[in-house]
Structures are given as C-alpha cells and as structure tokens.
Amino acid sequence: MKIHVSHSRKELVEICEVFDLDIPKYKELLKKELCVAILYKLTTIDEIISDNEFYYIENKKELIEYLTIPNQSKNLTIKEKDNIMLIAKKIIAYVNNGYWLSCSDFDDWDVLMKNATLVASYGDIPTCLRAITLLNNDLKMDKKIEIIVSPRVRKLRDKKIALKKELNTKFSIRRAPPGRPFVVRFD
C-alpha cells in the first residue's frame, strides 16, 4: 500500500486535519515523511471520522482507496484539458457514427483504445465520463475500460441520480365506465 504521488503535501495536511489523524507536527513534515506517517496511522487505528462535506469518505477503507488512486482533483493546464476534451469528443463522435472506424477520426482500433484509456483516467470531467460510458456499450470490445472517478464525484453523482429518481413523477389515467368517477393518479 502506497499513497499515490499525485496527492500534494497540502492535501495530505488537509486530510490529517479533516479526519483528525493524530500525527505529531504533521505540518512540518516533508511529503514523503507525511505519507509514511499517514499510512502508519491508518494501520494502527480502527476507525476514522467520516466526512460528508468535501471528501465524502465514510470509513477507513474508503480513505485508503482514495489515497492509493491518482488524485482526480489535480489541476490540468488549459491546454491539457482541451486536448483531453477533444479526444473525448472524438470518441463520442465514433459512438454516434454507429461504432464505425471509417466514419471517425481514428485510424485503427489500437489508437482508439490508447486514447480511451487516457481519457478514462479523467473520469471527473463529465465529457470524459460520458465518452467512456458510451464506448463501453460497443459490442466489439472484449474488455470494458474502467473509468477512474474520485469517490467524491462518485457520491455526488449517486446523490444526483437518486434525487432525479425521487423527483421523477409518473402520470397515469384510467378511464371509468360511464356514470362512474374517473381517477387521476401521480405515482
């Protein structure tokens, strides 16, 4: 188990504060020392304080998972993000053209898969998430591409889906025989 290098020292200090990890002088430690101290502390404690405001982490297992995967909130330069978005839009165009390579910007299957795995690592960007989700519906794919989404974005998305299901009302009308009242029901 190792903390991924994309997590900044500032974020690791913030994690110590949010989850109340009792690490002495954690603000003065170097990033390598802080990583070792956090991992040691996580192996010695049984539970952590859950955070439902920023990180949306409920237990120790989720915190370890969050720290071991690449940091999704790391800042991309504008040029890098534009490039990733362009590739994602090309993948969506491939899907919208009926999964035909001849109608897309991709020369062959390997280039498409290489670009798709690159885009899948930026699952917090909605266009990238949509592109890979649509691409995974392709019947020619023998192995689905796993999208890397931070737990924070995953929980926000799950909340949004649950709210949408809750607010989705259904309208049904049943006709009654003549002389009897009719019923309008919203389920």
How is residue 145 annotated by DSSP? P
Q: Retrieve residue 53's tokens.
A: 């405001």
Helix (H, G, I), strand (E, B) or coil at 51: strand
* Residues in contact with 67: Cβ distance below 8 Å, sequence separation at least 6, in sequence order: 3, 4, 7, 15, 38
Phi, psi torsion values for 184, nearest 5 degrees: -110, 125
Query: How far is it, in rounded angstroms, from Cα 50 to Cα 52?
Result: 7
Name the token pair of 168. Answer: 């989705």
Domain boundaries, the chain: 9-68, 78-135
Quick one: pLDDT at residue 31? Answer: 93
Helix (H, G, I), strand (E, B) or coil at 48: coil
Q: Residue 178: its pLDDT value, please? A: 79
Contact 123, 92 (CB under 8 A): no
3-state secondary structure of 4: coil
Q: 100-131: per-residue pLDDT in tens? A: 988 888 989 999 999 999 999 998 889 999 99
Report pLDDT digits (tens) over 69-93: 887 666 677 899 899 999 999 999 9
